[in-house]
Amino acid sequence: IQLESELRRTIGTHRYQFYYQPKVNAITHDLCGIEALLRWEDENGEIQSPLDIIPILEYSGLIIEVGEDLIQRACRQLKQWQDDNHLLHFALNISARQLLNSNIVETVSKAIEETGCDPQYLELEITESVIMADVKAALDRLRGLEALGVKIAIDDFGTGYSSLAYLSRFPVHILKVDREFVKDLPKNKDNITITRSIVELAHNLEMIVVAEGVETEAQEQFLASIGVEEFQGYYFGAPMPLKDFEQQYLTLP
């Protein structure tokens, strides 16, 4: 409860911030975008993981208000990079309640309008299980978001129970292969079969594939060989504060 009131009290402050993790093109290894990952600083200045924070924001309903602030911040950062000629795709995670119990379409629309960012570069990551929890409502929201020009990614793909029939009807542009399947590539035969199938499915549905949790050259080479378009993982870079990200990736040597 104390943590909850602290989370409420610090909305809109530096205590909430994004870390940025690079995503690279599978062929050129050029930076093509980032995933923004929430961090929250506690009163001792220690950084807390979203795995501990998001559940509290979700059950308390604070996620709506925090989420609106984060969407605004994301669009502001995206606009700033666009003004500086850094054409990066900006991926932002959207939780269950944010998608299903808030006016997400209006929130995103307002943020795009107020910041002037180019919505084509904004990607909203939604997990498979959230979509399957309420297919009708999710489809309605996703159509609204697509109409704004933003891209939709399915996060942690392969861990839930997606109906393929639904998947083909959804306005989804990107599939993110869960790192569980990347973990022991290229040794694990099951994971070879699974990743190949996911890539084939995605391409048949005209989606691009991002592999998460890429940690080794062997994983990277196998995934490139089966047609994965983008990589994200410690092999290419861990999530890091804005300053470090800009210094490492956006300044000329």
Contact footprint for ligand G (CB under 6 A): 21, 37-38, 49-51, 54, 70, 93-95, 125, 155-156, 179, 212-215, 233-234, 239
Shortest Cβ distance from residue 92 to ligand G (Å)? 6
Shortest Cβ distance from residue 252 to ligand G (Å)? 26
Tell me which of Mn ion, ligand G, Na ion, none is bound by residue 194, counting a contact when its beta carbon lies within the kind-specific cut-off of 5 to 8 angstroms: none
Site for Mn ion in 155-194 (CB under 5 A): 155
CA dihedral 77, 249, 182, 37 (to 10 degrees): -30
Provide the 3-class DSSP secondary structure of residue 25: strand
Shortest Cβ distance from residue 93 to Na ion (Å)? 8
Tell me which of Mn ion, Na ion, ligand G, none is bound by residue 145, counting a contact when its beta carbon lies within the kind-specific cut-off of 5 to 8 angstroms: none
The residue whose two tokens read 């924001």 is 57
Paired tokens of 163 = 């109906």
Tell me which of ligand G, Na ion, Mn ion, none is bound by residue 37, counting a contact when its beta carbon lies within the kind-specific cut-off of 5 to 8 angstroms: ligand G
Shortest Cβ distance from residue 1 to Mn ion (Å)? 29
Task: Taking the CA atoms of 47, 56, 213 and 22 in sequence, report the sign of the dihedral they define.
Answer: negative
Q: Quick one: angle between helices 62-83 and 104-115, nearest 10? A: 30
Picking from 32, 35, 128, 27, the residue whose alpha carbon sits closest to that of residue 74 is 35
As a whole number of angstroms, the distance between CA 249 and CA 37 comes to: 17
Tell me which of Mn ion, ligand G, Na ion, none is bound by residue 195, counting a contact when its beta carbon lies within the kind-specific cut-off of 5 to 8 angstroms: none
Shortest Cβ distance from residue 163 to ligand G (Å)? 21
Using the minimum distance from each CB to ligand G, give the nearer residue, 137 or 252: 137
As a whole number of angstroms, the distance between CA 253 and CA 92 comes to: 28
Using the minimum distance from each CB to ligand G, give the nearer residue, 38 or 152: 38
Helix intervals (H) in the chain: 2-9, 50-60, 62-83, 96-100, 104-115, 128-133, 135-147, 164-169, 179-182, 189-204, 217-225, 242-249
32: left (phi over 0), alpha (psi -120 to 50) or beta: alpha
Tell me which of ligand G, Mn ion, Na ion, none is bound by residue 230, counting a contact when its beta carbon lies within the kind-specific cut-off of 5 to 8 angstroms: none
Tell me which of ligand G, Na ion, Mn ion, none is bound by residue 49, counting a contact when its beta carbon lies within the kind-specific cut-off of 5 to 8 angstroms: ligand G
Structural contact between residues 111 and 145, judged by C-beta atoms closer than 8 angstroms: no
How many angstroms separate the Cα of 40 from the Cα of each of 96, 145, 250? 19, 27, 24
Shortest Cβ distance from residue 85 to ligand G (Å)? 26
Shortest Cβ distance from residue 74 to ligand G (Å)? 8
The answer to the question of residue 155 lying near Na ion (CB under 5 A) is: yes
Which residues sit at the interface with Mn ion, rule CB under 5 A?
93, 125, 155
Which residues sit at the interface with Na ion, rule CB under 5 A?
155-156
